[in-house]
Amino acid sequence: MKATAARARTLVTAHAKGRPLRAREVTARVRAGLPIAEFDALRELLGLTVESLASRVGTSIATLSRRRQSGQPLDAGHSDRLLRLARLFRLATELHDGDEEAARDWLSKPARALDGETPLDRADTEAGAREVENLIGRLEHGVYT
Tens of pLDDT, residues 111-142: 999 999 999 999 999 999 999 999 999 999 98
Instruction: Kindly state whether residue 115 falls inside one of the protein's structural domains.
Output: yes
Q: Is 76 exposed, middle or buried (0-12, 13-18, 19+ CB in 10 A)?
A: middle
Q: Is residue 145 part of a domain?
A: no
Asked if the structure places residue 10 within a domain, the reply is yes
At residue 9 the predicted structure's pLDDT band, cuts being 50, 70 and 90, is low
Mean pLDDT rounded to a whole number for the chain: 90
Contact yes or no for 56/84 (Cβ under 8 A): no
Question: Is 33 inside any structural domain?
Answer: yes
Answer whether residue 103 is part of any domain: yes
pTM: 0.86
Domain count, the chain: 1
* Residues contacting residue 117 through CB under 8 Å, at least 6 positions apart: 110, 111
98 is in which domain, residue-wise?
5-140
Which carries the bigger pLDDT value, residue 57 or residue 6?
57
Residue 6 has a pLDDT of 44
